[in-house]
Structure formats: C-alpha cells, structure tokens
Amino acid sequence: MSMFFPSYLMLVVTTSCNLSCSYCYEGEKHSGSAMSLETAMKALHMAVAPGKPFHVQITGGEPLLESERVFSILELIRREDWPVTIAIQTNGVLLDRVTIRKLCKYAVSIGLSVDGPPRLQEELRGGSAATYRAIKLLDEEGVPFKVTTVLSDRNAGKLHLLAMTMHAFPMASGIGLDLLVRKGGAAGQSCCGLPEEGLLRDGILRMLETIDLLNRERSRSLTLREKSLVLRAFRQGSRHHYCSASKGESLAVTPDGSLYPCTQTVGDPSCFLGTLDGRRDGEPTCRLSSMRAEGSWCSGCPLDGRCPGECPSRMMYNRSTRRNLMCVVYRTIFDYCVQKGEVAV
Ligand code: SF4
Ligand code: SF4
C-alpha cells in the first residue's frame, strides 16, 4: 500500500462557492459539502508524520464560506508545535477586517483570485466590488497579499492594466499567472478561451515593462511569479520542475476525504488516489509525472534543462486544444530578462 507524506497539503475545506466564474473548473457545482475537523486532522497527521516542515494551503470552492471551520482548523494547527506554513486562497468577497486580523493571528499568507481591473473582474468572476473592497482592507490593515490570475484570451492583452491597478495598493506584493485549464466550465463553451500566441507574447511583454516601471516608485516591489520561476530555474542551471504533484510531494484532500495529487486534478477519476480512510488507488504522482514538457519538445529552446517546466495537469487537460502556451510565457520572460541584462547567456 502506498503511503502519502505530502510536504504540500491542500485542504479543500468546502466545494461551495459564492461566485459563478464562467470558466469555473468545478463546472456548474456551486453548492457542496464542507470538511469536518476530523477529516482535516487526519490529513494533517499524514503530513506531520515524517517530522519535516510542510505547507498547508486552505482552499475551496470559497474557503471563507466556512470561516468558522477554517479558524477551528487553524487553531488546531497552531496549538501544536508543527513546522508548518499556511496560506489561504480566496476570492475575497467575505474578507472583512475581523477575518483579516484573525488570519494574521494564525500567520496565514493571503492570496486573492483576481483576473483584472474591476470591470474585467466583474465580467470574468463577478463580485468585483467586494473583492476590491477586500484588497483595500488588506492595504489599510498593512497585510501583504498576492493575487493569482487565470490567464485567458479575455485578459492576456490587459495584464499591464492589472499591474497598474495593483500599483494603487502598496501591500500588493505579487501576481501569479495560471493559464486557463480546459476543465469543468472551461472545457466547453465559456466566456473565455486560451489566448493566441501573439496576444499572449505582447501581453506578457507589456506587463513586464509596466511592472519594472511601477517598481521604481514602490517600496514593496510587485513581483511576477513566473519571472521568479524562470530566473530561479535558469540560474540554478539544472532541471528543477516546480510541480510538487508530479514529484509526489503534494496532496489535495476533499471534504469527503478523497485524495488527489493537487486541487487542479480534484474530481478527475483518472487522478483519484484513494481516501484518507486507507483505500489507495495509485501512487501520489498518478500519471502527472509522465506529462512533462521536455525531451524533443524542448530541444533548441534556450531554457532546455533550465526551465521551471509546465504544469503537468494543465498539459493533460489542454493537450489537444493548443500547443504549449506556457512556453510562450517562459520564452517571452526569458528574452526580456536577456534584453534587460538580468541573465547572461
Ligand atoms: S520553455 Fe517550453 S520548450 Fe523551453 S525548455 Fe521550457 S518547457 Fe521546454
Ligand atoms: S499539476 Fe499543475 S496545478 Fe497541480 S501541483 Fe503541479 S503545477 Fe500545480
């Protein structure tokens, strides 16, 4: 029987959500179950077992729909002397001052899902007024936060506007780009699709230039997660795939105790690993480890052997629809860094 000892544990505390993003990877499902404390503790004890530091990601659905449950889990974690870092990914709609202060008390890093300036956010996710109110509150409370953006044909050309919008908030510290995955609501007809290569290249370039300009005026720099990944992988000079799931180091646990390699694979029967109660259907990597972009795909690329690598599950879901667009993102960033003298080739 396989044993799972994740160093990156994702707790899907609820499958419910209070928004209806048209590309939602959960499909139409906006109500669902919540994780019991017993399930959370079983998952946590699995991660604690090896006695090594680990990370807990509180996620959903929208986790703050179950805020009392989230705080009970946080209280349980912090009561123990575990070597654990914690983050929460939220749409921010329910984030008020009290909640922000409680999350800070438990040393929880806050990530918000933001796809663009308010009008675009409203079109793509809804609830924009509440999300931006939360961003303002985080700023007023002096709490650093990062945003994660689903990258699609709707916002690829407007990424610089997102950077400019975040510039209004001194506590904004970074933006991460998650290329749209053709899964759930995004698998069929939805409001957005994958961007064309030219649009994507121009959008990334303009965003990089904008961030560099804005950072001249900021005391807290805005970072682009993908640029950090490319620079780190290139400078390390060795293949360093960033995906913890493909290395069997991460595990997503759903409210009913089902196990998947990461949240992006939740609900996919081909990635089901078993249950917390002991049933084991596969290795923690499932088939993600065979989905790496490397070998002949990468020959001739200046990042070959020094690339962060593409998300294997995204490759799995997007494979038949478009060639690897993350390579366009990485190559654009790399070329920009070479041009700016940030890397020597
Ligand atoms: S950018 Fe794409 S082609 Fe280049 S090394 Fe990375 S995965 Fe391979
Ligand atoms: S498969 Fe993709 S979403 Fe899942 S952990 Fe790896 S990189 Fe992240």
pLDDT in tens, 66-81: 999 999 999 999 999 8
* Rounded Cα distance, 306 and 295, in Å: 12
Ligand 2 within 6 A of 89 CB? no
Share of the chain above pLDDT 70, in %: 88
For residues 166 and 172, the answer to whether their CB atoms sit within 8 Å is yes
The reply to whether ligand 2 has any atom less than 6 angstroms from the CB of 155 is: no
Q: How far apart are CA 43 and CA 153, in angstroms?
A: 37
Atom of ligand 2 nearest to the CA of 264: 3
| Three-state secondary structure call for residue 118 | helix
- What's the pLDDT band for 1 if we cut at 50, 70, 90? very low
DSSP state of 31: -
- pLDDT value of residue 80: 94
Question: Does pLDDT of 31 surpass 70?
Answer: no
Residue 222: pLDDT band (50, 70, 90) is very high
Residue 302 is given by DSSP the state T
Q: Whose CA is nearest to atom 5 of ligand 2?
A: 245
Q: Would residue 248 be called left, alpha or beta, if left means φ above 0 and alpha means ψ between -120 and 50 degrees? A: left
Q: Is the CB of 262 under 6 A from ligand 2?
A: yes
Q: CA-to-CA distance for 70 and 334, rounded, in angstroms?
A: 39
Which atom, in ligand 2's list, is nearest to the CA of 265?
A: 4
**What's residue 247's pLDDT?**
82
Tell me how far the alpha carbon of residue 341 lies from the centroid of ligand 2, in angstroms.
30
Contact 285, 245 (CB under 8 A): yes
Whether the predicted pLDDT of 292 surpasses 70: no
For residue 262, the CA-to-ligand 2 centroid distance in Å is 6
Say whether pLDDT at 47 is over 60: yes
Say how many Å lie between the CA of residue 186 and the centre of ligand 2. 17
Q: Where residue 22 falls among pLDDT bands split at 50, 70, 90?
A: confident
Report whether residue 243 contacts ligand 1, using a CB cutoff of 6 Å: no
Residues 6+ apart with CB under 8 A from 10: 56, 57, 59, 250, 251, 252, 253, 262, 263
Mean pLDDT throughout 239-256? 84
Q: What is the structure's pLDDT at 183?
A: 79
Pick the residue with more confidence: 310 or 7?
A: 7
Here the tokens at position 274 are 């078993």
- Ligand 1 in reach of 297 Cβ (< 6 A): yes
CA dist., res. 309 & res. 247, Å (int): 12
pLDDT at 170 over 90: yes
Q: pLDDT tens, 90-130?
A: 999 999 999 999 999 999 999 999 999 999 999 999 999 99
pLDDT for the residue 153: 95
- What pLDDT score does 30 carry? 56
Output the pLDDT for position 29.
Answer: 54
- Please name the residue whose Cα sits nearest to atom 5 of ligand 1: 304
303, 334 in Cβ contact below 8 A? yes
Which comes out higher in pLDDT, residue 134 or 249?
Answer: 134
Closest ligand (CA of 246): 2
Provide the pLDDT for residue 331: 95
Measured in angstroms, how far is the CA atom of residue 234 from the centroid of ligand 2? 20
Q: pLDDT-based confidence at 239, cuts 50/70/90?
A: low
Nearest to 128 by CA among 141, 147, 145, 151: 147
- Name the least confident of 27-31, 266-270, 299-303: 27-31
**Cβ-count burial 167-191 (b if 16+ within 10 Å, e if not):** bebebbbbbbbbbbbbbbbbeeebe
Q: Tell me the pLDDT of the chain averaged across its residues.
A: 90
